[in-house]
């Protein structure tokens, strides 16, 4: 997938996250919010020309590490946005694997952050 296709996928996931949140599905909203950010981060890395092998950028740890190294640490993306990616991944892991219920406030935060993150990646790297 190219950067534009990944960004389209990120936008769709962010839209789905909001729909799930509105339906009261906090776990599903966190999942989609994280994947919106994951795909937007992949798109940003591709569009930036960062030297990240495709197999690294497809794994969660690899993508988050590469995003931090190539975009956050050099100042192209704020530290705060980098932290929101990590926090949203933590919420997704709880929602998807740990079985603990996600509070609606936490899901609402994740969805809001995902929309901001996706918009920022699009504005910074794909315009």
Is pLDDT at 58 greater than 90 in this prediction?
no
Are 112 and 81 in contact by the 8 Å Cβ rule? The answer is no
Is pLDDT at 49 greater than 90 in this prediction?
yes
Are 9 and 1 in contact by the 8 Å Cβ rule? The answer is yes
Residue range 109-127, pLDDT digits in tens:
999 999 999 999 999 999 8
pLDDT in the model for residue 100 = 83
Domains in the chain: how many in total? Answer: 1
User: Which CATH number do you get for residue 85?
Assistant: 1.20.120.330
- The range of the structural domain enclosing residue 45 comes to 3-125
Contacts of 8 (CB under 8 A, 6+ apart): none
pLDDT above 70 coverage of the chain, percent: 100
Give the DSSP letter string of 19-61: HHHHTT-HHHHHHHHHHHHHHHHHHHHHHHT----HHHHTSHH
Q: What is the pTM of this model?
A: 0.95
């Amino acid at each position: 997938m190219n950067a534009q296709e990944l960004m389209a996928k990120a936008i769709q996931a962010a839209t789905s996250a909001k729909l799930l949140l509105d339906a009261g599905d906090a776990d599903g909203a966190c999942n989609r919010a994280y994947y919106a950010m994951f795909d937007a981060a992949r798109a940003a890395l591709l569009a930036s020309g960062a030297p990240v092998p495709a197999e690294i950028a497809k794994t969660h740890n690899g993508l988050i590490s590469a995003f931090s190294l190539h975009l956050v640490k050099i100042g192209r993306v704020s530290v705060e946005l980098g932290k929101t990616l990590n926090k949203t991944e933590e919420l997704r892991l709880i929602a998807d694997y740990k079985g603990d219920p996600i509070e609606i406030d936490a899901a609402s935060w994740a969805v809001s952050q995902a929309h901001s993150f996706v918009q920022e990646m699009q504005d910074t790297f794909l315009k």
